[in-house]
Amino acid sequence: MAGVPIQTKFADIGKEARDLLSKNYQLGSVKLEGSTKSKSGFAFTTDVNATDSGKVAGSLEIKLPAKYNATMTEKWNTDNVIKTNVAIADQPLPGVKAECEVSFTPTTGKKEGKLKTTYKCPGGWIHSTHDVELDPARPVVHLSAVTGYKGWLLGGSLSYDVSNQSKEADGLAIAYQGEDFAVHATAGDWDRFDAGAHHKVSDSLQWAAALGWKGTGSPSFSTGINYAVDADSTVKAKVDNSLVLGLSYITNVSDGVKATMSASVNATDLNAGGHKIGLGLNLSA
């Protein structure tokens, strides 16, 4: 909207619809998340995820107290990957955020790095991202930008392999964000097309739909709702064009304890296998 800073980056166009149709569906796994913060400002986050395939994965993240608009985050997971992220915001210019992310795998010696910058124009007419994969053998640059006027958004993205001097990927998106609804359409490499809509029907009810098509494949479609039963409980439901039904129930058990129970059912053949259930538990203090 004119005069209002654009907060949406290219990767987040259509996020409202995608989140409604995908978040809180903890299918085929049991997940435990925990977060706490010390008096000195250190934030700790840990999670353990056990899937129906028998794999158990986990991670521990430590975020140091923010000083001078800078943050530092350390993360280690059970794949033995250690990641360090250092970010600084509004320095040296207002609206600029710079991040440096480095990962290291001690067992193999593999190292990876990425330099990321984001710019939000103070005047509100552009939101751009500029990322570089720090691989001397194959540096790849990822660029994106979004501009808009009176609720309309137009964005584009480009990934370029510097060593081979070739385009890796590109994207184009158009969207409209109203007070209670949003619609979007995106194209990737002119081979993948997606569209979606999100509507806040009331304070307690939200609706979303998504349509996708890739190459010569058949189109996919899904639609769902998010209904707040009360201040502590929410019910989600969705269905796709394959008649797979998804259900999710999220409730605040007590202060700092949130439980998520979800299920997926193949409605075309209720007697067949393939149905999934899942449980998530989030603890915070």
For CA atoms 130, 134, 136, 137, the dihedral sign is negative
Give percent of the chain with pLDDT exceeding 70.
98
Tokens coding 87: 């970010």
Confidence of residue 164 (pLDDT cuts 50, 70, 90): confident
Per-residue pLDDT band at 1 (split at 50, 70, 90): very low
Based on DSSP, count helices (H) and strands (E) in the chain, helices before strands. Answer: 1, 19
User: What is the rounded average pLDDT for all residues in the chain?
Assistant: 92
pLDDT of residue 125: 84
pLDDT for the residue 5: 53
Residue 6 and residue 155: Cα distance in Å, rounded? 11
Name the pLDDT band for 86 (thresholds 50, 70, 90): very high
Contacts of 285 (CB under 8 A, 6+ apart): 35, 36, 37, 256
Q: Summarize pLDDT for 244-271 with one digit per residue, the tens.
A: 999 999 999 999 999 999 999 998 888 7
All structural domains of the chain, each given as residue ranges with its CATH number in brackets, are 10-284 (2.40.160.10)
Least confident interval from 34-38, 164-168, 183-187, 225-229: 164-168
211-250 tens-digit pLDDT: 999 988 889 999 999 999 999 999 999 999 999 999 999 9
Nearest in space to 104 (alpha carbons), one of 75, 82, 79, 85: 82
Q: Is the pLDDT of residue 116 over 70?
A: yes
Question: What three-state secondary structure class fits 231?
Answer: coil
**pLDDT recorded at residue 21:** 97
pTM, two decimal places: 0.88
